[in-house]
Amino acid sequence: MNRKPFICGNWKMYKNRTQTIDFIKKLCSETLDLKDRDILIAPVYLYLDAALALTENTAVLICAQDVYFRPEGAYTGEISPVQLRDIGCTHTLIGHSERRKYFFETDEIVNLKTRSALWASLMPIVCIGETREERQEERTFDVLSRSLKNAFHMIERDQAENVTVAYEPVWAIGTGLTATPEIAQEAHNFIRKTLAELYGREFADKTRILYGGSVKPGNIKGLMSMEDIDGVLVGGASLSYEDFMKIIRFDCV
């Protein structure tokens, strides 16, 4: 199945305005020739406007790092999917392991956010993954199945086609540990089979599944050689322009 590779950089709570602008200007100018893959950056909320202005009519997409599940209301500090669409965002991360760990987001909240994003015509990148303890207890597939089915609860197939799934083993995020390509492939294959159970094989074959977990230039080739890995969600390495460009320019087609 010819799924277009998807390279996503999540900047978390890093980079000021000047650093954001400088990085994205260079990225846009040096990726004009890359028509065969999607490239996405998720900067902090404060600089979304600036990033969106710089990427207009370029190959680079801009993504929010999170979204709330109400279109408006008295929810101090939150950002609605309607507001994100209003400024031109096309994508949002949902359910990142750090949101689950530090802000106690549950599968149910992830589902509400996913449905809300789709309602507002935002394309969600829904993150799922197991902790080190869950892997050691051989519960990885149980966790992935539960999280995936809960995330897609009450979402019709035509809406679900706008969702990208990101597998991020929690034990490999910011720890220096990385799932081997074979370990990642096993999880991705299971996710695709679960999607087939939910929506059919044709749907599953079209859905892009990203790997996220200490992705670096040194392991991108191995990861992208796997049949069911369609791209990567890059954390720390996306902050370095040189490293991120090495990851982006991997010839994965």
In a domain, 122, yes or no: yes
1: pLDDT strictly greater than 70 = no
In a domain, 155, yes or no: yes
| pLDDT class of 253 with cuts at 50, 70, 90 | very low
Contacts 24+ apart (CB under 8 A), 29-34: 30/245, 31/58, 31/59, 31/60, 31/248, 32/58, 32/59, 34/59, 34/248, 34/249
Count of domains in the chain? 1
**Phi, psi of 153, deg, nearest 5:** -60, 130
Active site residue: 98, 130, 134, 168, which one?
168
Q: Average of pLDDT values for 192-199?
A: 98
The Cα–Cα gap between 54 and 207 comes to 28
| pLDDT class of 175 with cuts at 50, 70, 90 | confident
| pLDDT class of 177 with cuts at 50, 70, 90 | confident
Q: Average of pLDDT values for 188-201?
A: 98
Per-residue pLDDT at 252: 44
120: pLDDT strictly greater than 90 = yes
Per-residue pLDDT at 101: 94
Q: For the segment 45-96, what is each residue's pLDDT rounded down to a tens digit? A: 999 999 999 999 999 999 999 999 999 999 999 999 999 999 999 999 999 9
| pLDDT class of 3 with cuts at 50, 70, 90 | very high
Which residue intervals of the chain are DSSP H helices?
Answer: 17-30, 48-55, 81-87, 97-102, 107-119, 132-136, 140-151, 157-160, 181-199, 201-206, 217-224, 241-248
The vertex-118 CA angle with 145 and 109, nearest 5°, equals 50
Tracing tokens 């991020």 back to the chain, one arrives at 168
Q: Is 105 in the active site?
A: no
Active site residue: 96, 98, 105, 134, which one?
96
Bridge partners for 92 per DSSP:
64, 124
Per-residue pLDDT at 251: 55
Note whether 247 and 7 are within 8 A (CB): yes
Q: What Cα–Cα distance (Å) separates residue 80 from each residue in 118, 122, 219?
A: 12, 11, 36
Q: For the segment 154-165, what is each residue's pLDDT rounded down to a tens digit? A: 999 999 999 999
The Cα–Cα gap between 230 and 174 comes to 21
In a domain, 206, yes or no: yes
Per-residue pLDDT at 179: 87
Lowest mean pLDDT of 116-120, 176-180, 202-206, name the range.
176-180
In a domain, 89, yes or no: yes
The Cα–Cα gap between 66 and 83 comes to 12
Q: Average of pLDDT values for 214-237?
A: 95
In a domain, 253, yes or no: no
Q: Average of pLDDT values for 165-193?
A: 91
Structural domain that includes position 146: 6-248
CATH code of the domain in which 155 resides: 3.20.20.70
In a domain, 79, yes or no: yes
Note whether 54 and 28 are within 8 A (CB): yes
pTM of the model: 0.96
In a domain, 25, yes or no: yes
In a domain, 126, yes or no: yes
Q: Is 168 in the active site?
A: yes
Q: Average of pLDDT values for 225-244?
A: 97
